[in-house]
Chains A and B, each alone.
Chain A
């Protein structure tokens, strides 16, 4: 290999420098070298290390000709070219290589007309682009990042456009040819890919200098022509469509003015329309075309879009409409055929998203211009989701597809989540065309509910007459369920939004629609239809004069009623839990927006809506009662369907979490029945899963804070919370409790109580925390006793800790000093008992590790929750407890958060292992906790026992260097307070002082020498500054030893200057906020100035 190494440059040398013999020898070596097994590696090595760049550069042409034989393997060739690109890059360092020369060579290769040579030229350009582009593709050649960066800039400014022009030439040439043979087309493909790459930014924002090259209409025409030529080849078609999508995203300074932008867009749209209209779209084109449209709509400002000639704009919208409908149908077909690659689905999603963008800016466009398109897209969506004869669901060319029922596991998202984007767009379009869509949904749903009712009745008859329950044909039912499923989902998305946290408003379009028709509406009939979900809507006289918005809700209520009646007729087996979920989901979404509609929030309000659902209306009261009945029915019938039960109980929470709604709820007798029933812990409610029971408890507690007179309130609590306490106390106060505690019935009672406590804690709000805290505190003390009794029963211990976690999580932020103190005390006792019972315990059963992991996680959560008080504190010197608090307060108490937390850390640290840190949740929680501790109680750190201290410091180092960037940031944040602590005590040679010295080096290296995430620069900078303050001498040493390694005088000087500047504003460094800020600013400059110099790639 060494001989080859030496031989190659000789061969490449000019004729004057070597004689024939030498050259022949070199050629021989080269040939043998080409035959060798790993030539590319060697070649790369030679070229990369070639002592004379100049020689190499002058003879690219020779190199290229040598590389051109098609016999050479593709991979080999590309590796060699990559090496060439590296040479060019290195050459540009000392300007020894002029790229122009290369481009000259390349353009000659291109004009040669020989496809093989042209392929080579293409490969050269590809290699150059990839080497000069983003840093991730850059080869590792041992130069600093600053060099890479400047190369990229220069390349972008000077060479990229030239490559583009070259590419265009080739494309022109190819597009003129009539037919392309296979080889040519492969060349062609490479050029397309290249054109693609040269404009590889996601959104194209070229500078002014590109104006001439890119705004030329011929460029765009060329790409359209090219696409038509090659569209049958799916790979090439994707490339060419990608190019067009890039052109469709063009924006920025390249446009001299608006009119240029308008005419560019007009040309683009024209080209696009004539392309789409001229072809029958292939599967492989769908995504590409939708990308072009999506880019176009999201990039060009609305004024530019509306400035298009109106005919062109209309054609564009029409084309978009047709395309959306057609993609939607194809997407549905893909689903039926269960294709792996859902190209139409992707394209459909993109187009629907574009529609959403368009109609959200409705006001910019001519009024009503989207109504007809909206109707069409909406109709086609509905059609695709309904069964025949109304719809086309599961229809293929061969008729209805018989698809087998798949196993669906709980991890698979519900359609309402899975298709939430689609549904949101369709819902929005439905609002735009509310006149058409709301009545359509209503009539489709009403008709299906009637059919469902009939079908269930027939099935019941059939079951009564037949001894074989398995003989029921579910096909008809399942088809109806699926129809209703989609109709309810679309209705939900159309009628209401689901903003997280905020109060959702009735969509303006829906409100306007209801107002516009209110004059034709008979309110009494509307209310009658609403209030009689058991009857067929069409059987009510005057049913055509009802408010359509209310009518759509009543259609869903009718569905719900059919379901409830079927459960009462013991037909639960025949029902669809999915439909049950859809119904309560819809009702919750609806109730949040429409129930007790607040007129103050709207400029104008629809009379039918406010009459039916406004505050203090009979309608509102009736519907609350109805919903409550639904919830109770569901909870007793569907305890075996966890998701449905969960959605149901969420509906209940929605009803009571707002005071206004809760006020009505507690007036219902049903509510009291539910409360009593739950308190009695009897079937069917005790069959619910534990999470549902918790949420149910939460709802019951929330309801208790509704407005009631004091007697009623007293009575309510006696019904709800009192039994819980009584049963619990009766049980644990039994003399023989320690003996019977392992009995199954006792254990179940205890578990149920603990679950209920978690639910109660979850119900905490600022206005009920006072009473809930007192109530829960009594339990917490008893729970400590349980820790003793159940010390052998890990699952119970786990649940007990969870209760503490929940209480701390929900309540600590509201607690004043003395209350917090109480909580700290009881938490400390909990930890002490836990620790005592686990000290020296060794478990051999299979669940031991998992149990321990869960305990640890919970304890850390508990500690973090306790600490969070330092950050989030809503307490106002016990204001919420006013009247309860008597005197003394914190005086005389000795437990602080620090005591609890450090005690907890004593438990946790010895148990933490690197293996455990592999659990991401545990790892994050752990680092969150130790950072909190360092920030809040830095003074406690030096007091830790030596072993603990060491493992804490080791944890910090580990977290900084080898965990996620999030963890590393946390650890850096922990350093400043530690260093400040050291500075405060002024003691040298303490373990903490020594540890911080070590961290100085770590942070210094991290900031200066390693490529780091910019996100952590600030955290690292702050840490560095405080550490520098503490260890000024060591810092100087670090700087000097770094400078000493620099051989290049220029770089040395630059670095030295930069370091001087870095600390100039803060000499001598002191822990002063102003100086620190100044330092951070200098650091930013430092990093951008010389950061690239030291980071080598």
Chain B
């Protein structure tokens, strides 16, 4: 299982500014972390655990040994590209678009033109689906914009350790790389977990970023 996270802005962290990958070997009580610098190829042991900020590769330790050095740096992303281009006019309100490099939900969309005989331009207001920040953009309606691939998956919450959730997907795979979000929802997840309630966690992912965005009480046979 490999997942990407955006780069950290904090200068003291490995990975900030330089290209490389933070590899976290899972499967032990305490995950083991290693920084692989892309330029020099040198590797650096670190004890920073899933700081939720560095471009990270998660490795199940079961299948790899710590001595495994044949890590493929280019496969940080898996499969298709994170976005596809689409003509502006085909975008729709409530749809998604990349604004200023961020995946956004389009909350407002309107057209305008310069002069009565001008060509249409599309004005968009989007809200970053992860940070809730508002972005605006305007472009000629014939231009293409990037549309992010958005995925929403539901997982059953199994456990919480050190602020990380153990989540089980439909196919039985378990992942432990997602933090409990730092929000009201996160608090609620912890409460429910503490109260031994069975809940499903919806995880939204786009452009290599992931976040738990919703929970649902598990009902009967689900």
Q: B2: CB under 8 A from chain A?
A: no
Q: In the complex, what residues of A have CB within 8 A of residue B117's CB?
A: 477-478, 481-482, 485, 576-579
Task: Give CA–CA (A744, B112) in the complex, Å.
Answer: 29
A405 touches B118 (CB 8 A): yes
Asked whether A844 and B105 contact (CB < 8 A) given A577-B120, A640-B119, A640-B120, the answer is: no
Within 8 A of A (CB), among B125-148: 127, 129, 132, 140-142, 147
Asked whether A640 and B87 contact (CB < 8 A) given A482-B116, A842-B215, the answer is: yes
A839 touches B219 (CB 8 A): yes
Task: Give CA–CA (A690, B89) in the complex, Å.
Answer: 9
Within 8 A of B (CB), among A303-354: none
Q: Quick one: which of B141, B185, B202 contacts A642, CB cutoff 8 A?
A: B141
Asked whether A844 and B214 contact (CB < 8 A) given A405-B118, A410-B110, A642-B141, the answer is: yes
Q: A573: CB under 8 A from chain B?
A: yes
Q: A795: CB under 8 A from chain B?
A: yes
Task: Give CA–CA (A848, B129) in the complex, Å.
Answer: 11
Task: Give CA–CA (A481, B115) in the complex, Å.
Answer: 12
Task: Give CA–CA (A842, B127) in the complex, Å.
Answer: 19
Q: Quick one: which of A477, A573, A689, A837 contacts B89, CB cutoff 8 A?
A: A689
B213 touches A742 (CB 8 A): no
B94 touches A844 (CB 8 A): no
B112 touches A578 (CB 8 A): no
Q: A843: CB under 8 A from chain B?
A: yes
Asked whether A795 and B94 contact (CB < 8 A) given A642-B89, A742-B151, the answer is: yes
Q: A408: CB under 8 A from chain B?
A: yes
For B143-171 the 0/1 string (1 means CB < 8 A from A) is: 00001011111100000000000000010
Q: In the complex, what residues of B have CB within 8 A of residue A850's CB?
A: 107
Within 8 A of B (CB), among A824-850: 836-837, 839-848, 850
Task: Give CA–CA (A256, B150) in the complex, Å.
Answer: 80
Task: Give CA–CA (A791, B202) in the complex, Å.
Answer: 10
A409 touches B110 (CB 8 A): yes
Q: Quick one: which of B88, B89, B111 contacts A688, CB cutoff 8 A?
A: B89
Closest partner residue, chain A, to B152 (CB atom): A792
Task: Give CA–CA (A477, B117) in the complex, Å.
Answer: 9
Task: Give CA–CA (A639, B112) in the complex, Å.
Answer: 15
B94 touches A840 (CB 8 A): no
Asked whether A410 and B111 contact (CB < 8 A) given A689-B92, A844-B184, the answer is: yes
Task: Give CA–CA (A642, B80) in the complex, Å.
Answer: 31
Number of A-B contacts (CB under 8 A): 141
Q: In the complex, what residues of A have CB within 8 A of residue B92's CB?
A: 689-690
Task: Give CA–CA (A641, B87) in the complex, Å.
Answer: 11
Q: A793: CB under 8 A from chain B?
A: yes
Q: B196: CB under 8 A from chain A?
A: no
The size of the chain A interface, using a CB distance under 8 A, is 53
A687 touches B89 (CB 8 A): yes
Q: In the complex, what residues of B have CB within 8 A of residue A645's CB?
A: 89
Q: B76: CB under 8 A from chain A?
A: no
Q: In the complex, what residues of A have CB within 8 A of residue B84's CB?
A: 744
Q: In the complex, what residues of A have CB within 8 A of residue B94's CB?
A: 795, 798, 847, 851, 854
Asked whether A642 and B111 contact (CB < 8 A) given A842-B215, A844-B214, the answer is: yes
Asked whether A485 and B119 contact (CB < 8 A) given A844-B183, A847-B107, the answer is: no
Q: A738: CB under 8 A from chain B?
A: yes
B214 touches A845 (CB 8 A): yes
Within 8 A of A (CB), among B101-123: 105, 107, 110-120, 123
| Most chain A CB neighbours (cut-off 10 Å) among B117, B151, B188 | B117
Closest chain-B Cβ to A34's Cβ sits at a distance in Å of 58
Q: In the complex, what residues of B have CB within 8 A of residue A639's CB?
A: 87, 89-90
Q: A406: CB under 8 A from chain B?
A: yes
B219 touches A836 (CB 8 A): yes
Task: Give CA–CA (A1088, B90) in the complex, Å.
Answer: 60
Q: B27: CB under 8 A from chain A?
A: no
Q: Quick one: which of A415, A743, A744, A842 contacts B185, CB cutoff 8 A?
A: A842
Q: A1048: CB under 8 A from chain B?
A: no
Q: Quick one: which of A478, A640, A841 contacts B214, CB cutoff 8 A?
A: A841
Q: In the complex, what residues of A have CB within 8 A of residue B114's CB?
A: 405-408
Closest partner residue, chain A, to B96 (CB atom): A795
For A469-510 the 0/1 string (1 means CB < 8 A from B) is: 000000001100110010000000000000000000000000
Asked whether A841 and B147 contact (CB < 8 A) given A578-B117, A738-B170, the answer is: no
Task: Give CA–CA (A1001, B39) in the complex, Å.
Answer: 83
Q: Quick one: which of A478, A485, A577, A844 contacts B213, CB cutoff 8 A?
A: A844
Closest partner residue, chain A, to B184 (CB atom): A844
Asked whether A408 and B112 contact (CB < 8 A) given A641-B119, A842-B215, A842-B216, the answer is: yes
Q: B204: CB under 8 A from chain A?
A: yes
Q: Quick one: which of B111, B115, B123 contacts A406, CB cutoff 8 A?
A: B115
Q: A686: CB under 8 A from chain B?
A: yes
Q: In the complex, what residues of A have CB within 8 A of residue B181's CB?
A: 844
Q: B17: CB under 8 A from chain A?
A: no
For B182-203 the 0/1 string (1 means CB < 8 A from A) is: 0111001000000000000010
Q: In the complex, what residues of B have CB within 8 A of residue A690's CB?
A: 90, 92
Q: In the complex, what residues of A have CB within 8 A of residue B214's CB?
A: 792, 841-845, 848
Q: B75: CB under 8 A from chain A?
A: no
| Most chain B CB neighbours (cut-off 10 Å) among A405, A573, A836, A844 | A844
Task: Give CA–CA (A311, B183) in the complex, Å.
Answer: 85
Task: Give CA–CA (A639, B144) in the complex, Å.
Answer: 13
B110 touches A792 (CB 8 A): no
Task: Give CA–CA (A839, B218) in the complex, Å.
Answer: 9
Q: B47: CB under 8 A from chain A?
A: no
Task: Give CA–CA (A851, B123) in the complex, Å.
Answer: 21
Closest partner residue, chain A, to B121 (CB atom): A407
Task: Give CA–CA (A407, B116) in the complex, Å.
Answer: 9
Closest partner residue, chain B, to A840 (CB atom): B217
A-B contact pairs, 10 of them (CB 8 A): A640-B89, A641-B120, A742-B150, A744-B147, A744-B150, A792-B152, A841-B216, A842-B185, A843-B213, A851-B94
Closest 4 CB pairs of A and B: A840-B217, A405-B115, A576-B117, A844-B185
* Beyond A841-B214, A843-B213, 6 additional pairs, beta carbon < 8 A: A411-B110, A641-B141, A689-B89, A743-B149, A842-B185, A845-B213
